[in-house]
Amino acid sequence: MRILIVEDEEHLGRLLAEVLGREGHAAETASDGRTALARALVEPFDLLVVDWMLPDLDGVQVVKRLRAADVRVPVLMLTARAQVEDRVEGLDAGADDYLPKPFAFPELLARVRALARRPPENETGETVLTAGDVALDPARHEVRRAGERVDLTAKEFALLATLMQRPGQVFTRSVLLDTVWGGTTGAYTNVVDLYIHYLRKKLDVGEEPSRIRTVHGAGYTFDPRPEYSGQGSPQGPEPIQET
The reply to whether 156 sits near Ca ion by the rule CB under 5 A is no
Site string for Ca ion, 92-111 (x = CB under 5 A): --------------------
Q: How far is the CB of 11 from Ca ion (least distance, A)?
A: 11
The enclosing H or E element of 19 equals helix 10-22
Torsion from C-alpha of 150, 154, 159, 160, nearest 10 degrees: 20
Q: Pick between residue 59 and residue 236 the one whose CB is nearest to Ca ion.
A: 59
Q: How far is the CB of 207 from Ca ion (least distance, A)?
A: 42
Q: How far is the CB of 101 from Ca ion (least distance, A)?
A: 9
Q: Please give the Cα distance from 89 to 132 (Å, whole number).
A: 32
Site string for Ca ion, 48-67 (x = CB under 5 A): ---x-x--------------
Q: Pick between residue 108 and residue 134 the one whose CB is nearest to Ca ion.
A: 108
Q: Are strands 75-79 and 47-51 parallel, antiparallel or unpaired?
A: parallel
Q: Pick between residue 7 and residue 156 the one whose CB is nearest to Ca ion.
A: 7
The reply to whether 8 sits near Ca ion by the rule CB under 5 A is yes
Q: Pick between residue 11 and residue 149 the one whose CB is nearest to Ca ion.
A: 11
Using the rule CB under 5 A, give the single segment among 4-12, 38-46, 65-73, 230-238 that binds Ca ion: 4-12
The reply to whether 32 sits near Ca ion by the rule CB under 5 A is no
C-alpha pair distances (Å), 115 with each of 46, 144, 170, 203, 208: 10, 20, 29, 27, 29
Using the rule CB under 5 A, give the single segment among 34-42, 46-54, 146-154, 184-192 that binds Ca ion: 46-54
Q: How far is the CB of 142 from Ca ion (least distance, A)?
A: 35
Q: CB under 8 Å, gap of 24 or more: what pairs does 76-85 form?
A: 76/47, 76/48, 76/49, 76/50, 76/108, 76/111, 76/112, 76/115, 77/50, 77/51, 77/52, 78/7, 78/49, 78/50, 78/51, 78/52, 78/103, 79/51, 79/52, 79/53, 80/52, 80/53, 81/52, 81/53
Which residue has the CB atom at the shortest distance from Ca ion? 53
Q: How far is the CB of 47 from Ca ion (least distance, A)?
A: 18
Q: Pick between residue 53 and residue 109 the one whose CB is nearest to Ca ion.
A: 53
Q: Pick between residue 79 and residue 162 the one whose CB is nearest to Ca ion.
A: 79
Q: How far is the CB of 224 from Ca ion (least distance, A)?
A: 37
Order across the sheet with 26-30: list the strands.
26-30, 2-6, 47-51, 75-79, 97-100
Catalog residues that contact Ca ion under the rule CB under 5 A. 8, 51, 53
